[in-house]
Structure 1
């Protein structure tokens, strides 16, 4: 009989422990969603989270009382029942009571940890909102019954917190925590992989600068003021861009931006072919400007095309609304474009990687979540990483490593790294 009473007390202790963990682990966002769906019990849990001292005091009173009763009553009663058993052991008659007490305490402690703590808390953590809602009405009732004691404990707790300078402020969720929740939701299948990637790209969007998203000047297709109509039309037919930079190479000067629409109108009007006449002033964008600020500039100037310049005013490249869109949604191919893979996995497991690939995108593909040692450096591509780690302008055949990755420079385009061979080693 005594054992059944102790077992009941331990189970009751487990209920209190379960509710305590469920309450403090519950997500306010999930509870608010349930309230919006009409769940009244969820509203009760939210109210408890607004006054945690009150309900945690109730839980602590219950756990403490159960501990006292089970320890005092159970230890003596069950030990008395075990004394005759130990007395039957030859040579242990004189120590029978001590052995019975030690055994009783050990068994009750073990059961208390398993039934009264560990298992209930594990269950609560599996779905905290569910169990918080399940036991909420009982805890509200117990709080009302034990109100005088709860009030005294709550006041004492708040007073002591003030004395030690502890403020009860709700800490805002950081971007890292949101990313971790996103990662867990993706792993559990709550959010689709494509949606996860898009949300991650939205977070990264504001961290990227214009020089990370631009088309570099060496890759630009430009027009010159003395180009003939035939040459310009051939460029338009081959490249399929909507706008081009008009550059005077003799002065290394940007004259302006010409659109294909204006070129076609000029050709159709039969007037003299003069690109200077239709060139529009370019929108200059500092290379260090963040992507969200570039988007604001495009909106403000009703423009979709910007010239990226460095601190000295020299042209670094161009950036378009299309570039900004692709940084969130991924590559958006035109009708006649074919998708070019930045990472090509070979049969032996090694990877051929474009050196122009963004560092953040590459690290994510490799499963490397932490690379703070690179974030403060002044490069954004794998080509820049190669130059940084080698310490000079790379040449074909150069090998360098980062974390568990081995890189080999396999192709150069003048002084620029074009392709890298990457081998992923097993982490030790």
Structure 2
């Protein structure tokens, strides 16, 4: 009986460790690697990204789980292990009269020690050492891939420049190839020699200022750089376009047009891409939203009105419209829905 009780408590402590390890691993994991691994179809990486996108919800659930496990382990340990220890101590002449209190104290101290070591410190240490264990790959392909695998990755990749690693871990040698060079080699009928087309990108520390990074890009014809941390580990990639968008806002893709960025819904509301220019919004709705304060997009208009980054689901009134924030991409407003506010409808009637 006592062995079963110890086994149950040990299992609960290990389960607590799993929660603690997942909590820190998801928060510490590099999203660039998770994203690329998810693009390859890894369900675990997709789930980790989803949890990382909503850390408050995930961390709250983890904390509830850890608390419940702690309460359950304490209650079960007190009812079983402490009871057995009490029966064992009771016949002893000195401690017998206080056997119940002593048993309770011993079980509480023992459970606390085991829970802290095995349920918190060790799992969190492992999570800090291996935060990317669930997503070790960021490069679309490695040099260890077969020609067929490389060709398949080239077809599915939507980027013009592709990161290449010597293995599945980005801590080794890393280069960049142009997609058109590999496609030319494939169309010529010859073997795909990735090494022959690899170019060495520049490395930019993640703490470097934007202007200094722009100056570095002027020194290389390869418009892609690796972003590294203080330990030299690759955190992601960046291009001059990314830097320009930090200054001037997002540039529309070549296939973007106003019709696909503002859509009329069946209920009469409008689904709008927050990157849409205010003038285009005025043309589509026949309204006169004023672009003041140096902003030019719907997102800028909302940020100017609120004076802060909005929350997903928040509603703000703009020019007779209720504007609902329906999608956030991190701290960037992605999609909004515009509905004529009730006061405006009443005036119209």
TM-score (norm 2): 0.39
TM-score (norm 1): 0.32
Write 1 or 2 for the structure with the bigger share of helix. 1
Higher radius of gyration, 1 or 2: 1
